[in-house]
């Protein structure tokens, strides 16, 4: 072999940032301020945690779970568990106890590291986690005096105390498992995606490219997207590799606190789902001139598509680039990215033209392949018109679920994403809908996402969710469920008139329902399954059907 | 396997740029202008070339050589040969016929693609290249009417004409050979470095990171560093992957023409050795205000260290960041990089402090390891003072020479670089010297590079080369060989007085010799071997020794 056969292990990247920039800080929000430690301390503590886990019997390949907010100890767990060759299993703290029980047992977690305030939720599972041998409890100021009914619980600090600060990371195969994330399971049981060192290494390097997230050692990142949500889009890995200053909100996820952190920590980039940025926008609009966000350069937005109006607002008001990314737990997760300038020809584009591109899911990252297929697995043209089932392949794309192959989710080496999409002649991916959320009316398809994006741009609308309702003649018809902004005057007719400016008559919602809140999934997306179930529970009828019966 | 096992093949990256930005151009300088083709055309022609090579019998693993300037057809050769699984062997057109004969035969090249104007040089080897079956002759405007005494020569355009524009790139092992570069061999025979798809893929992705070269799809690159010199530092691969606009000077390497291209093609980034940028600086200084280089953002400078004065000049005068990179053919080549801002703490640094960092070889790229060792292979401290033999390892570092193992160049899995270096507490690599150019005087080491950098900052000095001369008492003593700028008034005493401002008495050169030019190696570096040989041929004596005999 003429070139060195260095395995692509995360342990070869994760200590680097602390070596390059030992004095840079990892900042965790607390009830009345912040708790700060350096990257060097974080690295040393990660090595200590690895020693403690090894002493507790954790071996290469064993699953160690976290049940935690975003914070410095969660970061240490990432660093330690992955580098020592164990498997970082990030449990979603917002799941039901039924799902958690299934996931913990399916993964066979041996240890769970839990934030002290999350203990009550974990205690609901007492006696239902037979593989779990120990609970490590991480505290924060104000949460120190924890106690629990769970057996074998130990304080995180006691667990790592006195351990050596240098762990000799093992040289394992690069295809070894590294991290486990379960999809939140909109249908059926949650399914586990097992990342490998190789897949994660390549994803980490790739998101640092200038045209992807453009991450730099000079950045200060506010990590809002939960670390239990597809590894926070890979940011913790990249941040440790580069030595970025990292700020974590922990359990303080209200928009006001996030906005304060953006200002006080001089954040340059952040990442979160659209609802987070809607909230931050509301805080900023409610107090014009109060916050100085002049350090902020870019927000990465994923999980679901940000409305174009939101992208435009952040640019126009703050000069902040909202970067849309598309991906899923199964894609590590980043697969496409949409920047203000993604191509040479964009240099001369107007803001409006750029915003139109940014509203698309984005351009494919190097090394991946995307294709859209019809029902007979025939590839469809990239003309921006044809839409079909989106498939993807490449070195950081899932090839099977963990101990649960699910062959129907894969086709001929490709992952079947469950999204319905178009690809335009410029190569932009445009997500039409989740295949299960697309509305089939009279043999034609209506995109719930397109309607939502349009409705939410209307003055007075805070959120909009469009779901299908069964219809005897048309098969399905769209209904819009809308949350008004405080004090806004809105009516069904006003919303429909607004939709009529863009959509054909047959594409307009049959009804507009005003609600106080839209239920969210455990990963912060609008939970259309619950919206539909609630309409069914309420005995909701489409107007023309209700009319017939009246 | 839970994640897809997509092999890291260059064919998975190289077609991407043309797909993303088909209309972007590849521009080649001609005698009286430019020749332009789109990326889509370049890709189609590369696929055609692959078909033609396959038809000519080239199989996976076969060596196909290029003997070419930087230009669109050389780029097509990169694209075609690598992606079809053959080996791109880039011959250095500046080598002697003796070295070329050795290299071509050692590589076993089956085909050579040659620029028409280089035919006379290749004809010197007639009858001495038994493995070479065919010569493909690439022409440019003005060079069409070629003829040659070499057998089986065919015009490049005739060779690829009528071939299909889609080649089905083979799925080969990612550790398959991809490209062969011979080091110019300062001692002994030239040695071949065989890159693999895997090593090159990782290098390509990594140089696009924001903190490395920060390459973007919006960039326009002027590729000056020869494509036969360590794959032009990886730029052609990255540029094709991203779809960058690429401008090639072909055989028009004079500084004036290069400066004109920088302006007329609105270049945003370029790459070349320090002598190139010295030349461009002279052109700009000779005609203040004549050239508008407002698009130019950064120059990557490698091959040898740029003098700090040059780095400062480009920033102060043009706002252009000179990025120093360090590496060698054996390291693919980029290993360290020095940016104006490489760390968070640099944000608040003065220009002078930044320039001091930029004058260092740089910070290590993610995924690699550097270490300095003493004579007994003991690792030395990273204190910026201790210096020793520099060793490097990682996934794009050579592990053996092609069919020529050279075990003394490798140690325990590391490449022995032949450079003597320090690593400072900030992690910056500082090259003290090539180990063979370091001057050993009275048991102490004197760095020829440090002296050269200081001398060249003196007004009136165009170039400076410091070499060791044998001395009976001190073992070796330094002598400076200096080229004056046109019209400059300089004397030995003036140079020595200038050196005395920084260096101790025992470190000062014993002599300063003024010459018209310093001989360069085939890769554009000062050829100290030739400088020393010339002094020996001339019967040069150090002043104190000559004095004794006088």
pLDDT at A287: 96
User: How distant is the alpha carbon of residue A38 from its chain centre?
Assistant: 26
At A234, is the pLDDT very low, low, confident or very high (cuts 50, 70, 90)? Answer: very high
| Res. A547 pLDDT band, cuts 50 70 90 | low
Mean pLDDT across A487-493: 92
> Strands, DSSP E only, in B19-74?
25-30, 33-38, 63-67
Nearest to B217 by CA among B12, B11, B21, B15: B21
Identify the CA nearest to B79 among candidates B169, B183, B209.
B169
Superfamily of domain A439-546: ANL, C-terminal domain (3.30.300.30)
pLDDT over 70 percentage in chain A: 98
Q: Which of A91-100, A474-483, B232-241 has the highest mean pLDDT?
A: B232-241
Residue A183 annotated to the active site: yes
Burial track B76-93 (b if 16+ CB lie within 10 A, e otherwise): bbbbbbbbbbbbbbbbbb
Q: For residue range B494-520, list pLDDT tens digits in order.
A: 999 999 998 888 899 999 999 999 998
The C-alpha atoms of residue A73 and residue B44 are separated, in whole angstroms, by 52
Q: Percentage of residues in chain B with pLDDT exceeding 90?
A: 82
Residue-wise pLDDT tens digits, B269-325: 999 998 899 999 999 999 999 999 999 999 999 887 888 889 999 999 999 999 999
Burial of B428 (0-12, 13-18, 19+ CB in 10 A): buried
Is B199 in Cβ contact with A21 (below 8 Å)? no
**If pLDDT is split at 50, 70 and 90, which confidence band does B186 have?**
low
B-contacting residues in A 12-31 (Cβ below 8 Å) = 12-13, 16, 19-21, 23-24
B/e letters for B387-402, b = 16+ CB within 10 Å, e = fewer, are bbbbbbbbbbbbbbbb
Residue of A nearest to B210 (CA): A210
Say yes or no for a CB contact (<8 Å) between B218 and A1. Answer: no
**For A419-478, how does the pLDDT look when each residue is reduced to its tens digit (9 = 90+)?**
999 999 999 999 988 777 888 888 778 888 889 989 999 999 999 999 999 998 888 999
Indicate the pLDDT class of residue B521, thresholds 50, 70 and 90. Answer: confident
Biggest CA pair distance of chain A? 81
User: Comparing B7-26+36-203 with B439-546, is the CATH topology the same?
Assistant: no
Select from 1.25.40.10, 3.40.50.12780, 3.10.20.90, 1.10.10.10 the CATH code of A7-26+36-203: 3.40.50.12780
Q: Is B377 a catalytic residue?
A: no
B165, B186, B409, B445: the catalytic one is B445
Contact A218 B341 (CB under 8 A): yes
Q: What phi and psi values does residue B123 have, to the nearest 5 degrees? A: -65, -25
A478-482, A498-502, B247-251 — which is least confidently predicted?
Answer: A498-502
Q: Is the pLDDT of residue A550 over 70?
A: no
Instruction: Write out the DSSP string of A221-260.
Output: EEE-S-TTSGGGGGHHHHHHHHT-EEEE-TT---HHHHHH
pLDDT class of B219 with cuts at 50, 70, 90: very high
Structure confidence at residue B184 as a pLDDT band (50, 70, 90): low
The reported pLDDT for the residue numbered A94 is 87
Bridge partners of residue B222, in order along the sequence: B247, B270
Which of A519-523, A531-535, B146-150 is least confident? A519-523
| Contact at CB, B3 and A198, closer than 8 angstroms | yes
Catalytic residue selected from B90, B183, B268, B521: B183
The CA distance from A2 to the nearest CA of chain B, in Å, is: 5
Distance from CA of B376 to the nearest CA of A (A): 23
Q: Which of A1, A2, A194, A339 to mutate to test the interface with B (most CBs of B within 10 A)?
A: A2
pLDDT above 60: residue A54 = yes
Q: Which pLDDT value is given to residue A473?
A: 85
Return the pLDDT at B550. Answer: 39
CB B321 within 8 A of CB B340: yes
DSSP-based helix, strand, coil % in chain A, nearest 5? 30, 25, 40
Pairwise CA distance, residues B92 & B74, whole Å: 13
Domain A369-434 in CATH 2.30.38.10? The answer is: yes
- What whole-number distance in Å separates Cα of residue B492 and Cα of residue B512? 5
Name every chain B residue with its beta carbon within 8 A of the beta carbon of A214.
210
Q: Per the residue annotation, which of A189, A343, A440, A492 is the catalytic one?
A: A440
CB-based contact B325:B338 (threshold 8 Å): yes
Peptide bond into B36 cis (omega under 30): no
A440 catalytic per annotation? yes
Round to whole Å and give the CA distance between A421 and A441: 18
pLDDT for residue B441: 86
Per-residue pLDDT for B549 more than 60? no
> Is A2 in contact with B216 (Cβ distance < 8 A)?
no
The per-residue pLDDT of chain A, averaged, comes to 94
Q: Which of B1, B2, B202 to mutate to test the interface with A (most CBs of A within 10 A)?
A: B2
The question of whether A330 is a catalytic residue gets the answer yes
Name the band, by pLDDT with cuts 50, 70 and 90, for residue A334: very high
Q: How far apart are CA B15 and CA A305, in angstroms?
A: 28
* Summary mean pLDDT of chain B: 94
pLDDT tens per residue across span B345-361: 998 899 889 989 999 99
Q: Does B147 touch chain A (CB under 8 A)?
A: no
Peptide bond into B145 cis (omega under 30): no
Whether A367 and chain B come into contact, CB under 8 Å, resolves to yes
Nearest to B218 among A20, A21, A347 (CB): A347
A405 pLDDT above the threshold of 60: yes
Smallest Cβ–Cβ distance between A218 and the set B206, B347, B396 belongs to B347
pLDDT in the model for residue B450: 85
Nearest Cβ partner for B194 among A2, A364, A393? A2
pLDDT greater than 80 at residue A186? no
Domain ranges for chain A: 7-26+36-203, 369-434, 439-546
Q: What is the pLDDT of residues B19-34, one digit of tens each?
A: 999 999 999 999 999 9
A348 touches chain B (CB under 8 A): no
> Residue A537, SS3?
helix
Identify the H or E element spanning B19. Answer: helix B16-20
Model ipTM value: 0.89
Which has more pLDDT, B335 or A444? B335
Please, which pLDDT band fits residue A549 given cuts at 50, 70 and 90? very low
Q: How far is B493 from chain A (nearest CA, A)?
A: 43
What pLDDT shows up at residue B308? 87
Percent of chain A with pLDDT over 90: 81
Percent of chain B with pLDDT strictly greater than 70: 98
Q: Helices marked H in A308-447 — which ranges?
A: 308-318, 351-358
Range with the lowest mean pLDDT among A104-108, A224-228, A545-549, B40-44?
Answer: A545-549
Q: Between β-strands B220-223 and B245-248, what pairing exists: parallel, antiparallel or unpaired?
A: parallel
Model confidence at A230: pLDDT above 70: yes
How many angstroms separate the CA atoms of B198 and B209, rounded? Answer: 18
In eight-state DSSP terms, residue B230 is G
When mean pLDDT is compared over A279-283, B305-309, B435-439, the highest value belongs to A279-283
């Amino acid at each position: 072999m003429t070139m060195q056969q260095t395995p692509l292990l995360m342990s070869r990247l994760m200590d680097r940032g602390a070596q390059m920039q030992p004095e840079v800080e990892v900042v965790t929000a607390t009830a009345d301020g912040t708790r700060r430690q350096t990257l060097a301390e974080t690295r040393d503590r990660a090595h200590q945690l690895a020693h403690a886990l090894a002493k507790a019997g954790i071996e290469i390949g064993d699953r160690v779970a976290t049940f935690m907010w975003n914070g410095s100890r969660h970061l240490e767990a990432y660093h330690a568990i992955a580098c020592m060759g164990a498997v970082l299993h990030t449990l979603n703290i917002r799941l039901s106890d039924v799902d958690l029980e299934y996931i913990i047992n399916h993964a066979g977690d041996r240890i769970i590291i839990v934030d002290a305030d999350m203990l009550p939720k974990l205690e609901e599972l007492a006696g239902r986690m037979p593989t779990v041998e120990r609970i490590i409890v991480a505290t924060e100021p104000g949460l120190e005096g924890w106690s629990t009914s769970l057996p074998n619980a130990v304080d995180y600090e006691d667990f790592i105390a006195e351990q050596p600060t240098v762990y000799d990371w093992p040289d394992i195969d690069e295809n070894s498992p590294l991290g486990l994330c379960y999809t939140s399971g909109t249908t059926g049981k949650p399914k586990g995606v097992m990342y490998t060192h190789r897949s994660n290494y390549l994803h980490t390097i790739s998101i640092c490219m200038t045209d992807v997230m453009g991450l730099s050692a000079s950045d200060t990142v506010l990590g809002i997207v939960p670390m239990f949500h597809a590894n926070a889009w890979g940011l913790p890995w990249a941040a440790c590799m580069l030595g970025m200053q990292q700020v974590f909100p922990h359990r303080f996820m209200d928009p006001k606190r996030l906005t304060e952190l953006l200002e006080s920590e001089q954040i340059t980039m952040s990442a979160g789902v659209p609802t987070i940025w809607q909230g931050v926008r509301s805080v900023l609009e409610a107090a014009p001139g109060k916050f100085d966000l002049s350090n902020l350069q870019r927000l990465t937005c994923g999980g679901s598509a940000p409305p174009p109006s939101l992208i435009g607002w952040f640019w126009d008001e703050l000069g902040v680039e909202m970067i849309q990314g598309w991906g899923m737990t199964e894609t590590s997760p980043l697969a496409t990215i949409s920047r203000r300038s993604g191509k040479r020809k964009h240099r001369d584009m107007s803001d409006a033209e750029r915003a139109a591109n940014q509203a698309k899911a984005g351009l494919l990252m190097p090394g991946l392949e995307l294709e859209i297929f019809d029902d007979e697995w025939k590839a469809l043209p990239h003309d921006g018109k044809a839409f079909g089932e989106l498939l993807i392949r490449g070195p950081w794309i899932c090839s099977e679920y963990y101990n649960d192959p699910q062959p129907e989710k894969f086709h001929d080496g490709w992952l079947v994403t469950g999204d319905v999409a178009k690809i335009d002649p410029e190569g932009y991916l445009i997500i039409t809908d989740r295949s299960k959320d697309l509305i089939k009316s009279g043999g034609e398809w209506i995109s719930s996402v397109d309607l939502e994006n349009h409705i939410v741009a209307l003055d007075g609308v805070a959120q909009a969710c469009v779901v299908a309702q069964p219809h005897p003649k048309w098969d399905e018809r769209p209904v819009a469920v809308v949350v008004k902004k405080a004090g806004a005057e809105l009516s069904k007719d006003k919303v429909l008139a607004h939709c009529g400016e863009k959509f054909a008559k047959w594409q307009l919602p049959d009804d507009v329902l005003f609600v106080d809140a839209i239920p969210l999934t455990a990963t912060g997306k609008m939970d259309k399954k619950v919206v539909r179930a609630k309409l069914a529970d309420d005995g909701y009828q489409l107007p023309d059907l209700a009319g017939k019966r009246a």
